[in-house]
Homo-oligomer: A and B are copies of this chain.
Amino acid sequence: MGMVGGGRGAFIGAVHRMAAAIDGQIELVCGAFSSDAEKSRLSGEDLFLPADRVYGSYAEMIEKEKALPANERMDFVSIVTPNHVHFPPAKMALENGFHVVCDKPLCFNMEEAHELAQLVKDTGLIFALTHNYTGYPMVKHAKQMIANGTLGEVRKIVVEYPQGWLSTKLEDSEQKQASWRTDPSKSGIAGSIGDIGTHAENLAEYISGLQIKELCADLSTFVPGRQLDDDGNVLLRFNNGAKGLLFCSQIAVGEENNLRIRIYGTKAAVEWRQQDPNDLVVRHLDQPMQVLRTGVGDLAAAAQAHTRLPAGHPEGYLEAFASIYRNFAKHVQARLSGEEVDPVYDFPTVEDGVRGMQFIYKVVESGQSDDKWTTFE
């Protein structure tokens, strides 16, 4: 793995490295950790990389790695930069034959999104988008329950993602995470909707197997002087007739990272909350509530395939994130060996990324419209 971004002081780069390391399947072999060559060099040192595999730019990295013998060069590129620097390295990596793991949202705008999707299609390379929350075992189990019909027909989906860390104008401090996320030149047309709303949208569609087909949004910017939305409320209508609500907020003071989803069907309902990820609450018509737990009893094969520890040994965010990398790695290895990969080892793709970008655009469009419903094909 060669990394683009994630130098000293970055948050998500370290997450990607820890996630990639856990299962012992992926080795960080090179990186262009910063657009500042000196900072990149120092970051490489921190990571025990040989000096000649630490590059001053992603372009240099891709060129020089490509020039190495096949069994020495990196197998794929991991892109952990702010949104506006997803597309250029992803494009160049694909054009030079490297598989790609990319942080979400996919890129800066729709044009980039479509071009990237086309490139993946044309090159046949493997592209994973780190909608990491789909990596949790109980998310996998919930998806399987719905696919099996255990919930009956889905009627209602409530998905919410409150955070409080942008309740004040944190971007005026030196806080790096806040500053680029609230800057339209780096983040794109949306703030909270792009940063966390897309996780919520992705999770809802992933678990339910449904697609949003209409939405009605009310976006707000509560913190004075902020340039992008920091809160959004959205009514949803799904392609099977189910109704829903999605809200995301970064001004929900005191909330940490409280992604939560409830899906009600005709026969049963599921509830999952990211801060207690090893619980899956299942409610039935006139039967006792169940709390399914990671590692307990006879869970779906997909849940078991994403569980590393016995019951009661809590698995968390890094493990779920690691599962995205592990599954991606299985596909890369299978490409080399010609083997099949069991479908339980899935991961979000460039198509999920395009849909996420479309969601951002449609929510922003709806937020500015007087029409009640905006179609989302």
Asked if B167 and A285 sit within 8 Å, CB to CB, the answer is yes
Tell me if A97 counts as interface (CB < 8 A to partner B). Answer: no
Q: Is the CB of B265 within 8 A of A163?
A: no
A298 to B280, CA, bound (A): 23
Q: CB distance B237 to A253 under 8 Å?
A: no
B283 and A253 contact, CB distance less than 8 A? yes
A288 partner, pick from B155, B220, B258, B282, beta carbons under 8 A? B282
Interface residues as binary, A360-375 with B (CB distance below 8 Å gives 1, 0 otherwise): 0000000001111100
Known: A24-B48, A256-B293, A288-B292. A274 touches B243 (CB 8 A): no
Q: Tell me how far the C-beta of A72 lies from the nearest C-beta in chain B, rounded to whole angstroms.
A: 15
Q: How large is the interface on A (under 10, 10 to 19, 20 to 34, 35 or more residues)?
A: 35 or more
Chain B residue, CB-CB nearest to A14: B308
| Partner-contacting stretch, out of A104-112, A312-320, A334-342, A346-354 | A312-320
Which residues in chain A, 295-325, are within 8 Å of chain B measured between CB atoms?
A: 295-298, 308-319
Chain B residues with CB under 8 Å of A249's CB are: 156, 264
Q: How far is the CA of A274 from the CA of B314 in the complex (A)?
A: 8
B15 pairs with A24, CB closer than 8 A: no
Q: Which residue of B lies closest to A252 (CB)?
A: B264
Q: Which of A1-59 contact B (CB under 8 A)?
A: 11, 14-15, 17-18, 21-24, 28, 47-48
Tell me if A257 and B167 are in contact (CB < 8 A): no
Most buried by B among A48, A165, A310: A310
* Other-chain residue from B156, B222, B289, B292 in contact with A252 (beta carbon distance below 8 A): B156
A233's partner among B160, B235, B310 (CB-CB below 8 A) is B235
**Interface check A96, CB cutoff 8 A:** no
Would you give the 0/1 interface string for A156-167, flagging 1 where the beta carbon is closer than 8 Å to chain B? 101010111101
- Looking at the complex, which one of B266, B296, B315, B318 makes contact with A22 (CB distance below 8 Å)? B318
Q: Which of B158, B251, B283, B373 contacts A156 (CB 8 A)?
A: B251
User: Is A184 an interface residue, CB under 8 A from the partner?
Assistant: no
Interface: A284 (CB within 8 A) = yes
Residues on B with beta carbons closer than 8 Å to the beta carbon of A168: 285
Instruction: Say yes or no: A243 contacts B253, CB within 8 Å.
Output: no
CA distance A240 to B156 in the complex (A): 30
Contacts of A222 in B (CB 8 A): 155-156
Residues of chain B contacted by A293 (CB below 8 angstroms): 256, 288-289
Contact across chains for B18 and A308 when beta carbons are under 8 A apart: yes
Report whether A265 and B285 are in contact in the complex, using a CB–CB cutoff of 8 Å.
no
Q: Is A218 interfacial (CB 8 A cutoff)? A: yes
Q: How far is the CA of A218 from the CA of B165 in the complex (A)?
A: 31
Q: Does A247 lie at the interface of the complex (its beta carbon under 8 Å from any beta carbon of B)?
A: yes
Are A314's CB and B316's CB within 8 A?
yes
A191 within 8 Å of B (CB atoms): no
* Residues from chain B with Cβ under 8 Å of A283 in the complex: 164, 253-255
Count chain B CB atoms within 10 A of each CB in A167, A266, A297, A370 and give the residue with the most.
A167
- Could you mark each residue 261-297 of chain A with 1 if its beta carbon is under 8 Å from any beta carbon of chain B, else 0? 0101111110000111110001111111111110111
Judged by a CB distance under 8 angstroms, whether A117 is at the interface is no
User: How many whole Å from A244's CB to the nearest CB in chain B?
Assistant: 7
Show 8 A/B contacts (Cβ-Cβ < 8 Å), sorted by A. Answer: A164-B264, A164-B285, A253-B268, A254-B268, A286-B297, A289-B292, A308-B318, A370-B373
Seed contacts A249-B264, A286-B296, A313-B317; 12 additional CB < 8 Å A-B pairs: A18-B23, A18-B308, A167-B266, A233-B243, A253-B264, A254-B269, A254-B289, A256-B293, A275-B314, A276-B276, A290-B291, A316-B319
**5 closest Cβ contacts across the A-B interface?**
A254-B283, A256-B312, A257-B312, A314-B316, A316-B316
